[in-house]
């Protein structure tokens, strides 16, 4: 039996009408209202709040919690996720998560509901406007058992209208800015948030950097990460979809990760799933090695190609062995450290730390040499061959 979301060709008029009204309202209403009335501090704060809250409802909630179950949380946070997720007008949590699981399972194939292989605009918005979806919820049996998720699903229109339109307009009215709330915190905000989200499917599967899997269409795109609370590090996410983080470096903009970590620190989230730094490094090195291999395949001389391939493979193997040694040492010594804590043996603890630091130091030295080698081969293979593999001539 066929699995996955079934895509049926045909205009999805309710979705088209919704996008037309919200986008036209944002493009025409926002400059008109700003020209006529300006923008007040309450309107700015209300718009910022709903932009962040509804964006987080999708990124923290729909995506990292419901679609990938990268952490656990309590019913209060679940309600807030569903409330503000509905306010984003991006379908119910069940439909969104089921479709997203299909996207990961069947990425870039005919079964992928928003495959980039069908075109940039199809992946961005065409899959919703020019096609009708018939979801198959067999991939979301866990969500089918969640009463709150199912209530939002069955009453999605009421949830979204109240959370996404009536509630912000009501708050705006309390501050004396009902019309401003409608224009800024509803029309403009909805348009911005859903187009930012759609950029993950289009921009991040077309432009950016393939850091962990060079053959994946998913790319890391720092600017989309800014627009989407950290979702732009998409190559990492497709390589490690169960990690609660998308941006793993300290300088990566990933407010969704910070929000989940904050919930964990305050006891409102637990069982956060995190891929080890060793697995991440291993994937990154494998991607670099594959990129180098594809670079040197341009060399037509079979003897030279074999020589270069062997040289690169030898260095890559040595590097990965040092990484494995660092990981093994870290695991063994941390166990030893835990065992000696009770005995308060500072000498043993320090010795264990020193062994970890030594294997880490050896890996980092090999890593620096590998990066110099990789950079040389990527920039100028002729020079690289002369330096690292002997005389080279065409």
Q: Angle CA(294)–CA(295)–CA(300) in degrees, nearest 5?
A: 95
User: What does the block give as tokens for 47?
Assistant: 């718009």
pTM exceeds 0.85, yes or no: yes
Contacts of 156 (CB under 8 A, 6+ apart): 86, 91, 92
User: What does the block give as tokens for 221?
Assistant: 């795109």
Contacts of 361 (CB under 8 A, 6+ apart): none
Q: What is the pLDDT along the chain (394 residues), one digit of tens a residue?
A: 456 778 888 899 999 999 999 999 999 999 999 999 999 999 999 999 999 999 999 999 999 999 999 999 999 999 999 999 999 999 999 999 999 999 999 999 999 999 999 999 999 999 999 998 888 999 999 999 999 999 999 999 999 999 999 999 999 999 999 999 999 999 999 999 999 999 999 999 999 999 999 999 999 999 999 999 999 999 999 999 999 999 999 999 999 999 999 999 999 999 999 999 999 999 999 999 998 888 877 777 777 778 788 888 888 999 999 999 999 988 877 665 555 555 556 776 777 788 888 999 999 998 998 888 888 777 776 666 666 665 444 4
3-state secondary structure of 218: coil
């Amino acid at each position: 039996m066929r699995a996955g979301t079934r895509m049926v060709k045909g205009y999805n008029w309710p979705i088209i009408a919704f996008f037309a009204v919200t986008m036209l309202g944002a493009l025409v209403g926002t400059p008109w209202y700003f020209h006529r009335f300006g923008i007040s501090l309450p309107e700015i704060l209300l718009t910022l709040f709903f932009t962040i809250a509804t964006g987080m409802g999708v990124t923290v909630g729909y995506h990292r919690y419901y679609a990938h179950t990268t952490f656990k949380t309590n019913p209060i946070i679940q309600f807030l996720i569903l409330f503000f997720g509905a306010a984003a007008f991006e379908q119910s949590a069940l439909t969104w998560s089921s479709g997203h699981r299909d996207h990961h399972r069947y990425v870039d194939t005919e079964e992928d509901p928003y495959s980039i292989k069908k075109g940039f605009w199809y992946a961005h918005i065409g899959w919703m406007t020019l096609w009708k979806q018939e979801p198959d919820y067999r991939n979301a049996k866990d969500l089918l058992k969640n009463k709150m998720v199912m209530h939002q699903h069955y009453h999605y229109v009421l949830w979204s209208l109240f959370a996404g339109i009536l509630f912000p307009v009501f708050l705006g009215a309390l501050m004396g800015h009902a019309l401003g709330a409608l224009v800024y915190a509803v029309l403009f905000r909805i348009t911005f948030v859903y187009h930012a989200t759609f950029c993950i499917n289009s921009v991040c599967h077309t432009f950016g950097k393939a850091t962990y899997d060079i053959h994946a269409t998913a790319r890391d795109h720092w600017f989309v990460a800014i627009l989407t609370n950290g979702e732009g590090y998409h190559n990492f996410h497709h390589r490690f979809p169960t990690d609660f983080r998308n941006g793993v470096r300290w300088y990566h903009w990933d407010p969704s990760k910070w929000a989940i970590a904050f919930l964990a620190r305050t006891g409102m989230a637990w069982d956060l799933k995190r891929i080890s730094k060793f697995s991440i490094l291993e994937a990154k090195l494998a991607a670099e090695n594959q990129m180098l291999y594809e670079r040197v395949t341009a060399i037509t001389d079979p003897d030279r190609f074999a020589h270069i391939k062997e040289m690169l493979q030898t260095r890559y193997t040595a590097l990965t062995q040092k990484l494995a040694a660092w990981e093994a040492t870290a695991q063994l010594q941390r166990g030893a450290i835990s065992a000696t804590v009770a005995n308060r043996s500072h000498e043993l603890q320090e010795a264990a730390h020193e062994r970890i630091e030594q294997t880490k130091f050896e890996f980092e030295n090999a890593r620096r040499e590998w990066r110099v080698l990789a950079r040389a081969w990527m920039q100028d293979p002729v020079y690289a061959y002369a330096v690292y593999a002997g005389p080279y001539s065409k």
